[in-house]
Chain A
Amino acid sequence: MNGQIYELTIYPENDHFGRCYAATSEIARRLGFDPEEEFRFAVCVSEAYTNAFIHGNKSNPSKSINVVFAWDEETVRVDVEDQGEAKPQALHLDDSRPDIDCEKSGGRGVGIMKLFADRMEVEERQEGGLRVSISFRLRRKNSQVGVLLQKSNGGVNGNQSN
């Protein structure tokens, strides 16, 4: 992707879900998403991040999660990378649906991502762990893709590059 990149390394301390959400919301605003698009985008990133923390890193406090936002004029892609030992098959990508047995309390995340995102892929990283990539086509023209992102609060290491 020939555009801009914003990368966060998040350690599971304090409000780490909140820091991921704050960064996601900031990117969504820069890209000019309306509230509904922002909600869908935030849900997908949150599902990937939650899976990385719980199923990938097994809630290990010493393992971080990388969240990489990359966008150009047409697409925004988010890569969420854990440091765990799970295999891609663990996410049941092919048969996951959001409308599983309603009485179940879990198992909806991957199905929701598949439905809300335009594209979703899972791969093993060479250095270990999984990378979940979700992509969205940008449908609006009022984005501010060139505006420098402000770093989030403490605990998040953010880097932006062109």
Chain B
Amino acid sequence: MEIRVTENEDYITLSLKGRLDFASSSNLKEEILKRVAQGRNRIIVNLAQIDFINSSGLGTLVSILKEVRLAKGRLALSNLASYVEEIFEITQLSHIFEIYPSEAEAHEALTASRVNVS
């Protein structure tokens, strides 16, 4: 799986490409937690080019979400293909993740709430 990181002033975006499974999950977790440790705790994961995710990938995203929450941050997912969205629905994970149709909408949500909080 390829991970492309875009750093913005108040959030970072990780754009994933390929398969998010047992083999690739640890890389993603490492990439995100490294930045959370640096204080970057508003994160968008763009799944537009993810063509496969299984329970290992889902479990890793849950684990990352918990770490981001501990750092008082937010994690948003964007651009899910319909069949990827389905697996979030059937596992009920759509209830705990912030999922947006586009990266722009995810950004808007994270930024808007940041204004409200401060």
Sample of 13 further A-B pairs with CB below 8 A, known A17-B22, A18-B23, A43-B52: A17-B21, A21-B21, A35-B83, A39-B52, A43-B53, A50-B21, A50-B22, A102-B92, A103-B66, A104-B59, A108-B58, A112-B90, A115-B90
Contact between B91 and A98 (Cβ–Cβ < 8 Å)?
yes
A39 to B52, CA, bound (A): 7
**A residues in contact with B86, CB < 8 Å:** 36
Contact A109/B91 with A18-B19, A39-B83, A103-B66 known, Cβ cut-off 8 Å: no
Number of B residues near A (Cβ < 8 Å) is 27
Within 8 A of A (CB), among B64-96: 66, 82-84, 86-87, 90-93, 95-96
The residue in chain A whose Cβ has the minimal distance to the Cβ of B59 is: A105
The residue in chain B whose Cβ has the minimal distance to the Cβ of A40 is: B83
A interface secondary structure, majority: helix
Residues of chain B whose beta carbon lies under 8 Å from any beta carbon of chain A = 19, 21-23, 51-56, 58-60, 62-63, 66, 82-84, 86-87, 90-93, 95-96
Min CB distance A115 to B, Å, is 6
A109 to B90, CA, bound (A): 12
